[in-house]
Amino acid sequence: MKRIILIAMALLLTASTVFAQNFTDIKKDNVAMFHRHSIQFNIAGLAFERYGVAYELRLSPEHALFVQGGGSFPGISEEKEYGFGIHYKYILPLVSDTRFLGLFKSAYRNTFLDFNVRYMNLDGIHDDARFQFDSFFVGPGIGQTHVWKSGFTISYWLGYGPPIGAEFKWKDVVPTDGDSWAKTYKYASGLDFGLTLGYSF
């Protein structure tokens, strides 16, 4: 199974040689609005004492690689978690002069389809019982990105990847619902969602 994951990651990484193109080929109208690099901070996990940092490289107007990593806040969260992932994005044609939430006018909006490989390692707590969980996830997603003329960027997505090679074990005490909760958590952990704020340039 690890071999499959490594192959998938290699395919994502080599996408740059397959899809890279001369940026002078981009239509003139889009040059002013096209940003090749983006640094983003995932704020979706703040309510769960988690953080995330990401970098996106646009290989062309239609293709991008998105790399992210993050985890729990040291000294704040009782749980210890870290993870990382690499996403390939297929980006649909941009829509210019759009409004985020129908209120805030942005220079353009992109809708993207996503395929990703992710890894998570968690020292978690359930009903005061501690557990260890780690797994890879491979799956699709869909999302949108709004970019303003200043470069300010908001991106959000939702996806799911079933666990691959997952390992779950209770460290000390097994709670009464231990078996059912572990099974539910294992599959629920494949949910992939994000809301990022960032800067594109």
* Residue 20 in this model has a pLDDT that exceeds 70: no
Instruction: Find the radius of gyration of the CA atoms of the chain.
Output: 19
Q: What is the pLDDT of residue 13?
A: 52
* Predicted confidence (pLDDT) at residue 146 exceeds the cutoff of 70: yes
Query: Is pLDDT above 80 for 102?
Result: yes
Residue 103 pLDDT: 85
Residue found by looking up tokens 């940003």 in the block = 35
Question: Per-residue pLDDT for 21 more than 50?
Answer: no
- Higher-pLDDT residue of 21, 97: 97
Residues in Cβ contact with 123 at an 8 Å cutoff, skipping those fewer than 6 apart: 79, 80, 81, 130, 131, 132
When pLDDT is cut at 50, 70 and 90, the band that residue 6 belongs to is: low
Digit-coded pLDDT (tens) for 169-198? 999 899 999 999 999 999 999 999 999 999
Burial class (CB in 10 A: 0-12, 13-18, 19+), 78: exposed
Per-state percent for the chain, helix, strand, coil, to nearest 5: 20, 55, 25
Residue 161 · residue 192 · CB < 8 Å: yes
Q: How far apart are CA 13 and CA 26, in angstroms?
A: 23
Cα separation of 139 and 128, whole Å?
31
Instruction: Tell me what percent of the residues of the chain surpass a pLDDT of 70.
Output: 83
Q: Which helix (H) or strand (E) holds 185?
A: helix 178-188
> Would the pLDDT of 157 be above 90?
yes
Residue 177, token pair as written in the block: 């619902």
Confirm if 98 and 106 have CB atoms less than 8 A apart: yes
Query: Are the C-beta atoms of residues 190 and 160 closer than 8 Å to each other?
Result: yes
Residues constituting the chain: 201
Is the pLDDT reported for residue 115 higher than 80?
yes
What is the 8-class DSSP label of residue 5? H
Amino acid in position 163: P
Query: Residue 3 — pLDDT band, cuts 50, 70, 90?
Result: low
Give residue 35's pLDDT.
80
Beta bridge partners of 66: 56, 87
Tens of pLDDT, residues 43-99:
999 988 999 999 999 999 899 999 999 999 998 999 999 999 999 999 999 898 888
Write down the mean pLDDT value for the chain.
87
pLDDT at 192: 96
